[in-house]
Amino acid sequence: MDKIGKYLILENLGQGRYASVYRAVDNELGREVALKVLKPGLTADESALKRFRHEAQILSTLVHPQIAFAWDMGQEEGYFYLALRYVQGSSLSQLLKMQGALPWEQALIYLQQLADALDFAHHKGYLHRDIKPANILIGQEQGAVLTDFGLVALQDTGMTTHSGETILGTPAYIAPEIWQDERASPASDQYSLACVAVEILGGEVAFPGDTPAAVMKRHVLGGPDFPPRWPASVPSRLNKVLEKALDQEPERRFSSASEFVSELRSLDKKTTVTQDQENIINRAVCLPAWTVGLGAALVLVLLAAALISGAAAISARASLAKITPSVPVEAALPAQAPILTYTQTYPPGPTGTYTIKPTPSPTGLPALITDDFDVEMVLVPAGPFWMGSEASTAQAECKKVDPDSDCEREWFDDEAPLRIITLMDYYLDLTEVSNAMYAECVSAGVCQPPTSYASATHQSYYGDPQFDDYSVINVSWDQASSYCGWRAARLPSEAEWEKAARGTDGRLYPWGNTFNGKNVNFCDRNCTEDWANDSYNDGYADTAPVGSYPDGASPYGALDMAGNVWEWVADWYDVYPGGDPDASESFGQRYRVLRGGSWHSDAYFVRSAYRGRDLPPGGTWNYVGFRCARSP
C-alpha cells in the first residue's frame, strides 16, 4: 500500500490490535502525519468502527501541545483512516527499555507535560483510560506526547472499561475501581499516571504479575511494588506521594494530575553539608573529595570569592554559596555525575545567596575563572542542550505571566523549532559588563565611550562613581564586540547565550519554569511604562547593580541572564534553521540578536528562549548592554 487518498505512505510505524499506523505525508498540504488505518478485516465490525470514529471525533477537539490530536478522518478504497499529529521520536516504553530509569528532573518534565495533557482532556470532559508508556511518545521537539485515545470516554457517561468478560486496557496501569467495574474518573487517569511515574523513576512496573488475575489482585487487594532502593537522583519521601496517588479509594488521591506532579516537585531533593568559614581562601575554596561507591571518587570544587573591579558588589551582597544541578531532559543527552549540594558561609556581610554549579568539563576545566582583566567567568561545559521553544508553549507562558496581554502566537514563531544543539566548552562572564569594567577599555584607548552618559532616570550615569557597578548601556554591537576583543574574548553566540541561561533541562527561566519577579529586574511598579507589573517592587526604576539577583542565577551560576539589560549576542537575527520560513520576515544582515529582556520589559520577554531585535548593530539604547564569552 503506497497511498490512501491524498496521503502518501512513507513507512510503517507499528501495528496494533485494531489498526496499523504509518508515517505519511498529506500531498495537498505537505504536512507529515501519523496515519492510523483501521485493519481491513474490522471495517465490517460495527463496534470497532464506532470506536474508531469516536476516537477521531474526540481527538479533533483535543488540540494541545502534549496530545497527538487529529487533523483529518476519511475513507478511501475501503480503508478507514485517521490522520494524527506526527511526533518524531520513540515511545516511552522503548526509551525505558534502552535507558532504564530516567533522572529525576527529566522524569519530572515528562510527568508535568503528561499531567498538563490529562488536565486539559479532563477539563474538556474526557478520560483517557489507557495511560501507559507504550501510549506516550517522547518527541525530539515536543517532549512527552499522549497518544492512543481509543478507549477515551466522557466523564459523565458512567462507562466502564469492560467489554463482555474482557477488560479493556493494560492490567499494570488500571485503577482498582475499574477492576471492580465501577465508574472511571479523572482520579483513575491520575492513578495510571502514578503507575507510569513509578516505572520512569524506578525502572520497573509498580504492579507486576504473570497473569491479568494476579495483577488485578495486587491492584485491588495489595499495593504497589516500589523499588527497594530508588536511584540516587530520587528525593526522599517519594513513596508517600506515590502512595496517595495510588490510593485504592479515588477520593483520597490528588485532586488533579497536575497537583500530583506539583507535589512531586515540592519534594526536597537537596542534601546540605556546611563547611567551616575559615576554609575560605581568597578567591577559591577547594573541597576534599568524597568517595562515591567502591573505589570511585567525586571531587567537587567550589570556587567563590569577593569580586573586584566592576563586579565587586556581588560578594558584598552574598553570604551563601549553593550548588544547583541541571539535568538533561532527552535520552540523547548524557547522564551527569552525582552532585552534592554545599552551603558555604562567606565572611560577615549583608545576607543573600550566590549560586555556582561546579560542573567541570570532562577535561577538568575549573567552574569559575578570573581572566587577565580581573573579570570572573563561569564554565558552561561541553555537551547538548535544548534550544528554542514551540510557539504554543511560549504563548501559554505569556498568557500565564501577563493575562492582560494579547500574547499573539506569531510573536514567538521565531523561537521554533525546539531542538537539541551541542556546544563545546566555553566560559561566559559571571555578570553583565559594568560601567567600571567598560571604562577600563575606554581608558586604554580601545573602546569608544557610550553614546550617552545618562540612563533613563539618571542624568549622570556612566562615569559617575555611584553607578560604577551598574550595567553599561548605550553601547552598540560594534562597541560591545570591540570591548570583548580587548579582553581576548568575544560576544557569545545565540546558542551559547541560551545554554548558559537555561542549562540542559529546557527550563523557561534561568531559575526554573515559573516566573518570579523577585529574581529579575524587569518592568515592575518602579517602571513608568503602561505595561508595568505592580505586583513586584525591586527598588530600581531602570538598571540595577550587576549581580543584584543571585536567586535568579542560571544553572551554571551566571547572573542577570534574565532582565536588567538586553544583551547583544554575535548572531544576525533571522529564522532558525528548520523553522518555518513563512513564519518570519527574512531580515538578513539587518539586526543583531538581543537576549534576556531588561528593566524595561514585560515578564514574557525575560524567558531564556525569547529573541529580541529592532536595533541595528550601530544602534544604542538605555536598556541594552552585553557580556563576553571565550573558549578555553
Residue reference for cell 496494533? 16
- Please give the span between the terminal C-alpha atoms of the chain, in angstroms, as a whole number: 55
Upstream peptide bond of 417 is cis (omega within 30 degrees of 0): yes
Which residues, in sequence order, are CB contacts of 268 under 8 Å at separation 6+? 235, 236, 237
Number of C-alpha atoms within 13 angstroms, CB side, residue 142? 23
CA distances for 251 relative to 131, 132, 282, 323, angstroms? 19, 22, 57, 40
Burial of 183 per CB tally in 10 Å (0-12, 13-18, 19+): middle
Could you tell me whether strands 341-345 and 272-274 are parallel, antiparallel, or unpaired per DSSP bridges? parallel
Q: How far is CA 217 from the centre of its chain?
A: 39
Number of H helices, E strands in the chain: 13, 31
Listing DSSP states for 243-304 in one string gives HHHT-SSGGGS-SSHHHHHHHHHTS----EEE--GGG--TT-EEPPPEE-SSS-EE--EE--
Q: CA 474, CA 481: separation in Å to the nearest integer?
A: 14
Q: Which helix (H) or strand (E) holds 546?
A: none
CA distances for 233 relative to 94, 228, 434, 534, angstroms? 21, 15, 38, 39
Listing DSSP states for 58-93 in one string gives HHTT---TTB--EEEEEEETTEEEEEEE---EEEHH
Other beta carbons within 10 Å of 512: 16
Residue reference for cell 494541545? 64
Dihedrals phi, psi of 276, to nearest 5 degrees: -65, 145
Q: How far is CA 516 from the centre of its chain?
A: 16
Q: CA 497, CA 608: separation in Å to the nearest integer?
A: 9
The DSSP secondary-structure symbol of 521 reads B
Q: CA 380, CA 399: separation in Å to the nearest integer?
A: 31
The answer to whether 554 touches 543, Cβ cutoff 8 Å, is no
The answer to whether 184 touches 178, Cβ cutoff 8 Å, is yes
Long-range contacts of 26-32 (CB under 8 A, 24+ apart): 26/71, 26/72, 26/83, 31/71, 32/86
The DSSP secondary-structure symbol of 584 reads S
130 is catalytic: yes
The answer to whether 206 touches 246, Cβ cutoff 8 Å, is yes
In the three-class reduction of DSSP (H, G, I as helix; E, B as strand; rest coil), residue 219 is classed as helix
The answer to whether 476 touches 619, Cβ cutoff 8 Å, is yes
The catalytic residue among 130, 148, 247, 468 is 130
Q: Which helix (H) or strand (E) holds 349?
A: none
Q: How far is CA 479 from the centre of its chain?
A: 33
User: Which sequence positions are flagged as catalytic?
Assistant: 130
